[in-house]
Chain A
């Protein structure tokens, strides 16, 4: 009953931590009300490298490589597709940005090329004909996050992980957790992988993870209409931590021929109500880049919550002043891409072994600011 490590949260990050720890023969219990739901179920499933800062580039690059390494074993339910990403420019200034990004990505060993208007038209004939070109990142992938998360949980379970669904954790204790039915479970370590749900964390740290609401739409089946994950280069500006509300053109072809249409960002919004005005703006943006979308049927629209931090980096590592508690959350829109590498970093943190990359940029303590009145946690950029 009492495992070495309790993982709170059965989203893709918790599932990846369980997978990683059980590979190392650590006994694990995963606790959540339902598996593979929450932000995991609301997300797009874009496996991508980003160059926002060197630390995130390193993290996403390794994260993507870890998925690639497992792609042969992924079940069809994980819907692994070698889509690649086209980051489209909408003016010449953005073509310069594309060239800069290509260079940065290549310097870290990630394949990237800038393509011109005619090459873009060949790759995606339904985009607006006057778009000047794009940054093509052929190594990016797409998958179906709930399918991938369930696969990781099943693997962990086959290696002895206890999966405890139907109950949630009510409180963190010195050496374990208390469930909502009053049951106590003790463990040497606790990993908090609760995404945007921060109720279990001490107040100042909880405030450092801010919900950033996003909307997505899924269409009916239109095979061949879209082949790559396509987003505007302006997407990066839309993820700027200081912006309270933004939309960007961001579309993804699914294996069924359906298209996911995104994306929106609303800071400090935790509810999941679909806001029609935001969706309309998102669609207006999308049809400017891809006019053919206007004619195709939307089946449903939903909203989810990203766990965002002030420097866009996740919190991976020990929770200060609470021995044995580790954080694996705050991934904003990169939780699917970096789930597996997060698992690696959590093993390193718990076991004290060297990590595969520099962990300092992700250490929760980086957001702590010492002041004479006591410590504060940075909540905004």
Chain B
């Protein structure tokens, strides 16, 4: 039977934004549930390392949540909603109907993948993927690793990789040196960012203006073909970590009916969405990194707790952090799309190639005719890549459930809810 629980506030996502929102709402005396698909809190950037949470901010927010009696629903997947105040979920072997007067969407971001020949091979992972895998037990000792991407994430991942004993063969940055240099004035206006950079410790200086154009198996390792200012070169490695920035996870917000724009979920300066009972904080509102996400989470937590005054005060700091995020976005934009070779697989779930999708000008027709985007990830991986290379709108058309769910669970959750729920 579906377990029914009512709270004042439901927070979906236990990364920086979600933890901060839950802690603040909880401190104000609200009954809060914090929900995440992962078994442990922290999200991606504060993912526990080998089962142990070490990030000071995460630990502080988590203990604040514990003190406030926040109910932790880990390993729980929100898959649909009955209404903007009622979420449907599966987890720990059962189905859940969760009610909250306020819902805070803090679903974070996922990596943007741009397809290149061979990216389906074993040993090719995302950049965030490499970090997540290392933190969840993968031992990179003795592995030769190429990190290719753009923006600040590769930098953080390179330092993690080195700390755990991996060897960085090369760190490749898509943006040119001159382009990255334009960030300097912005950095100098944000000394906290310089401190963050320094804290990472010694990190490998990237080679700028480099893009991975293909990878193939070579003995036990991989040969990575790289295009750069001086032409092409081949790098040998065991693992290629490649991804080009982040994509806001907006699907839950869309299911709840929130307006979504080009950057992400639309919110006002107090993190309120177009739906009255729904707040949104962190990456789903536009990629901005951890400090901005936890700040937005704090604001959302105050608003959910009814303390608009505190929320408004914090909102001024948010404006500056957002401006910095936009400057980063501009610097590390993907730029002109480059078509990969025709045999390149564009949809890893279904094995669809670029040659197969090329004849179609519309995402929906291509999907029906080639299966691209029809697999279990429901276009989460191939969608942004194809938007970039083909100029299509998102291939996902938001059909329920949000994640694959057993027939039996949907049968329970989608039946008419019982009358007069107990509070």
Give the contacting residue for B365; candidates A37, A280, A299, A301; CB below 8 A. A37
In the complex, which residues 6-50 of chain A have their Cβ closer than 8 Å to any Cβ of chain B?
A: 34-37, 41
Interface stretch (choices B62-70, B173-181, B261-269, B401-409): B401-409
Give the contacting residue for A295; candidates B401, B408, B414; CB below 8 A. B408
Give the contacting residue for A41; candidates B368, B405, B410; CB below 8 A. B368
Cβ contact within 8 Å between B364 and A297: no
Assess whether A236 is interfacial by the CB under 8 Å rule. no
Q: What CA separation (Å) do A77 and B357 show in the bound complex?
A: 13
Assess whether A349 is interfacial by the CB under 8 Å rule. no
Q: Mark A123-161, 1 if CB is under 8 A from B, else 0.
A: 000000000000000000000001100100000000000
Q: Mark A279-310, 1 if CB is under 8 A from B, else 0.
A: 11001101100000111111111100000000
Q: What CA separation (Å) do A217 and B399 show in the bound complex?
A: 10
Distance from B401 Cβ to chain A, minimum over Cβ atoms (Å): 6
Cβ contact within 8 Å between A298 and B365: no
User: Known contacts A34-B362, A220-B376; is A297 also within 8 Å of B400 by CB?
Assistant: no
User: Known contacts A283-B407, A299-B404, A300-B400; is A77 also within 8 Å of B369 by CB?
Assistant: yes
Cβ contact within 8 Å between A298 and B364: no
Cβ contact within 8 Å between B407 and A34: no
Assess whether B420 is interfacial by the CB under 8 Å rule. no
Chain B residue, CB-CB nearest to A303: B399
Assess whether B378 is interfacial by the CB under 8 Å rule. yes
Assess whether A277 is interfacial by the CB under 8 Å rule. yes
Give the contacting residue for B414; candidates A219, A277, A296; CB below 8 A. A277
Residue of B374, B376, B413, B414 with most chain A CB atoms under a 10 A cut-off? B414
User: Known contacts A34-B364, A77-B369; is A300 also within 8 Å of B378 by CB?
Assistant: yes
Q: What CA separation (Å) do A41 and B364 show in the bound complex?
A: 10
**Interfacial chain A residues near B378, Cβ < 8 Å:** 299-300
Cβ contact within 8 Å between A287 and B408: yes
Chain B residue, CB-CB nearest to A40: B368
Assess whether B411 is interfacial by the CB under 8 Å rule. yes
**Interfacial chain A residues near B368, Cβ < 8 Å:** 36-37, 41, 146
Distance from A278 Cβ to chain B, minimum over Cβ atoms (Å): 9
Give the contacting residue for A294; candidates B364, B399, B401, B407; CB below 8 A. B407
Cβ contact within 8 Å between A279 and B408: no
Chain A residue, CB-CB nearest to B362: A34
Cβ contact within 8 Å between B411 and A146: no
**Interfacial chain A residues near B415, Cβ < 8 Å:** 277, 280, 284
Q: Mark A79-106, 1 if CB is under 8 A from B, else 0.
A: 0000000000000000000000000000
Cβ contact within 8 Å between B406 and A294: yes
Assess whether A370 is interfacial by the CB under 8 Å rule. no
Distance from B82 Cβ to chain A, minimum over Cβ atoms (Å): 8
**Interfacial chain B residues near A34, Cβ < 8 Å:** 362, 364-365
Chain A residue, CB-CB nearest to B371: A256
* Count of chain A residues with a beta carbon within 8 Å of a chain B beta carbon: 32
Chain B residue, CB-CB nearest to A294: B408
Q: What CA separation (Å) do A6 and B375 show in the bound complex?
A: 37
Assess whether A316 is interfacial by the CB under 8 Å rule. no
Residue of B362, B364, B376, B411 with most chain A CB atoms under a 10 A cut-off? B411
Assess whether A70 is interfacial by the CB under 8 Å rule. no
In the complex, which residues 346-375 of chain B have their Cβ closer than 8 Å to any Cβ of chain A?
A: 362, 364-365, 368-369, 374-375
Q: What CA separation (Å) do A35 and B369 show in the bound complex?
A: 10
Cβ contact within 8 Å between B406 and A276: no
Q: Mark A318-355, 1 if CB is under 8 A from B, else 0.
A: 00000000000000000000000000000000000000
Q: What CA separation (Å) do A296 and B404 show in the bound complex?
A: 9
Assess whether B416 is interfacial by the CB under 8 Å rule. yes
Distance from A45 Cβ to chain B, minimum over Cβ atoms (Å): 12
Q: What CA separation (Å) do A163 and B405 show in the bound complex?
A: 40
Q: What CA separation (Å) do A300 and B376 show in the bound complex?
A: 9
Assess whether A192 is interfacial by the CB under 8 Å rule. no
User: Known contacts A274-B399, A277-B415; is A296 also within 8 Å of B369 by CB?
Assistant: no
Assess whether B111 is interfacial by the CB under 8 Å rule. no
Q: What CA separation (Å) do A286 and B411 show in the bound complex?
A: 10
In the complex, which residues 134-157 of chain B have their Cβ closer than 8 Å to any Cβ of chain A?
A: none
User: Known contacts A297-B405, A299-B376, A301-B400; is A283 also within 8 Å of B410 by CB?
Assistant: yes
Distance from B227 Cβ to chain A, minimum over Cβ atoms (Å): 34
User: Known contacts A294-B406, A296-B406, A297-B406; is A287 also within 8 Å of B411 by CB?
Assistant: yes
**Interfacial chain A residues near B404, Cβ < 8 Å:** 220, 297-299
Chain B residue, CB-CB nearest to A292: B407
Q: What CA separation (Å) do A150 and B411 show in the bound complex?
A: 35
Assess whether A261 is interfacial by the CB under 8 Å rule. yes
Assess whether B80 is interfacial by the CB under 8 Å rule. yes
In the complex, which residues 233-250 of chain A have their Cβ closer than 8 Å to any Cβ of chain B?
A: none
Chain B residue, CB-CB nearest to A34: B365
**Interfacial chain B residues near A41, Cβ < 8 Å:** 368
Cβ contact within 8 Å between B414 and A294: no
Q: What CA separation (Å) do A283 and B369 show in the bound complex?
A: 27
Cβ contact within 8 Å between B414 and A302: no
Give the contacting residue for A300; candidates B399, B408, B411, B412; CB below 8 A. B399
In the complex, which residues 201-236 of chain B have their Cβ closer than 8 Å to any Cβ of chain A?
A: none
Chain A residue, CB-CB nearest to B415: A280
Distance from B66 Cβ to chain A, minimum over Cβ atoms (Å): 34
In the complex, which residues 377-423 of chain B have their Cβ closer than 8 Å to any Cβ of chain A?
A: 378, 399-401, 404-408, 410-416
Q: What CA separation (Å) do A217 and B408 show in the bound complex?
A: 13
Q: Mark B47-84, 1 if CB is under 8 A from A, else 0.
A: 00000000000000000000000000000000010100
**Interfacial chain B residues near A284, Cβ < 8 Å:** 411, 415
Give the contacting residue for A146; candidates B80, B369, B407; CB below 8 A. B369
Residue of A77, A279, A284, A297 with most chain B CB atoms under a 10 A cut-off? A297
**Interfacial chain B residues near A220, Cβ < 8 Å:** 376, 404
Chain A residue, CB-CB nearest to B398: A300
Cβ contact within 8 Å between B399 and A261: no
Cβ contact within 8 Å between B405 and A298: yes
Q: What CA separation (Å) do A295 and B374 show in the bound complex?
A: 21
The 5 closest A-B pairs by CB, nearest first: A294-B408, A276-B414, A280-B414, A297-B404, A283-B411
For this complex, 22 residue pairs linking A to B, each with C-beta atoms less than 8 Å apart, are A37-B365, A77-B369, A147-B369, A150-B369, A261-B407, A274-B400, A276-B400, A277-B414, A277-B415, A277-B416, A283-B407, A283-B414, A287-B411, A293-B407, A294-B406, A295-B408, A297-B405, A298-B401, A298-B404, A298-B406, A298-B410, A301-B400
Measured CB to CB, the residues of A under 8 A from B are 34-37, 41, 77, 146-147, 150, 217, 219-220, 261, 274, 276-277, 279-280, 283-284, 286-287, 293-302
Known: A37-B368, A283-B407, A293-B408. 8 other contacts (CB 8 A): A34-B365, A41-B368, A276-B413, A280-B415, A287-B407, A295-B406, A297-B407, A299-B375
